Amino acid sequence: MDLIKSIKNKSKAKESEMSFFGHLDVLRGHLIRSALVILLLTCLCFFYYDFLFDTIIMGPKRPDFWTYKIMCRLSDYFNLGPAFCIKSIPGKIINTEMAGQFTLQLNSSLLVGIVIGFPYLLWEVWRFIKPALLEKERKSASGFVFFASLLFIMGILFGYYLIAPLSVNFLTNYKISDIIENTITIDSYLSSVATLTLGTGIVFELPIIIFVLSKLGLMTPKFMKAQRRYAVVIILIIAAIVTPTPDILTMLTVSLPLFLLYEVSIWVSGLVYKQKQAEEKAFYAN
């Protein structure tokens, strides 16, 4: 009998082991398809690089960038003074490595390919997770790809058109002495713009992260409301760092979307919390 039980246990272990490796094989398929799509988009960006570099990557460095033109119009309309209207971005962009420009083209094409292919990557992740969810969980998370992609795109646009240009203007104009001339390497410039833009896109995924944490019981609206004052301080510090002038209008322009994002996250957590309470009441009622 012990021998039979041992054989059965080994058989079950092998089945679970095969199931585990089977899941890994499925995951590999999703990752390979995502990588191929991102590679294709990267190749397209590489071959059409003139527009990508001149218009998109170097946009925040040009005084005629959309953000700077809007700031000048607002400055004229509200009489905010010359400090709010940005008409020149100092600092010379240079390359210091032999393969620097080729590496720049390759890296920036890959970054843009990842940004464009991010919704498809989310869709592949959803296809992998979906079979493991219950019917109720599938329905409650049915808009995952759409809302996560929408928030990411909004974050990318907010970071690119607001955070990145204001930061570029502030950092290129910042001087501790007239003896020091700002000469910026292209790697440093690309790294700064990409970090600010992609970082903001990830930050805008906060409601999705809060939704998942609330589903797992690790986050509650009560806790987020209690921590609101700390969130306000952190948001204001971020706004003060990236804004070029100390006026309240610019700080509010940067910080207001982040405040709204935090409040939306509290609302999302509240919805999940109420749903879980309703399910618990229905369970104990039966």
* Alpha-carbon gap, residue 43 to 212, rounded angstroms: 34
Alpha helices in the chain (DSSP H): 2-47, 49-51, 66-78, 100-129, 135-140, 144-158, 164-173, 186-203, 206-215, 221-226, 228-242, 248-285
Query: Does residue 103 lie in a domain region?
Result: yes
Angle between helices 144-158 and 186-203 (to 10 degrees): 140
Q: How many domains does the chain have?
A: 1
Note whether 46 and 106 are within 8 A (CB): yes
Q: Is residue 252 part of a domain?
A: no
Indicate whether 112 belongs to any domain: yes
DSSP H helices, 48-59, are 49-51
Model confidence pLDDT, tens digit, residues 161-174 = 988 898 888 888 88
Whether 255 has a pLDDT exceeding 60, the answer reads yes
The parent domain of residue 47 ranges over: 2-204
As a whole number of Å, the end-to-end CA separation of the chain is 41
Q: Please check whether residue 120 lies inside any domain of the structure.
A: yes
Q: Give the pLDDT mean for 9-35.
A: 69
Q: What is the pLDDT of residues 81-128, one digit of tens each?
A: 777 788 888 888 999 999 999 999 999 999 999 999 999 999 998 888
Residue 24 has pLDDT above 90, yes or no: no
**Average pLDDT, integer, range 230-237:** 86
Q: Is residue 195 part of a domain?
A: yes
In order, the DSSP letters of 75-106 are: HHHHT--TTTS------EEE--STTHHHHHHH
State the chain's mean pLDDT as an integer. Answer: 84
* Per-residue confidence (pLDDT) for residue 247, from 0 to 100: 58
Q: What mean pLDDT is predicted for residues 126-131? A: 86
Q: Is 276 within a domain?
A: no
Is residue 231 domain-resident?
no
Kindly state whether residue 237 falls inside one of the protein's structural domains.
no
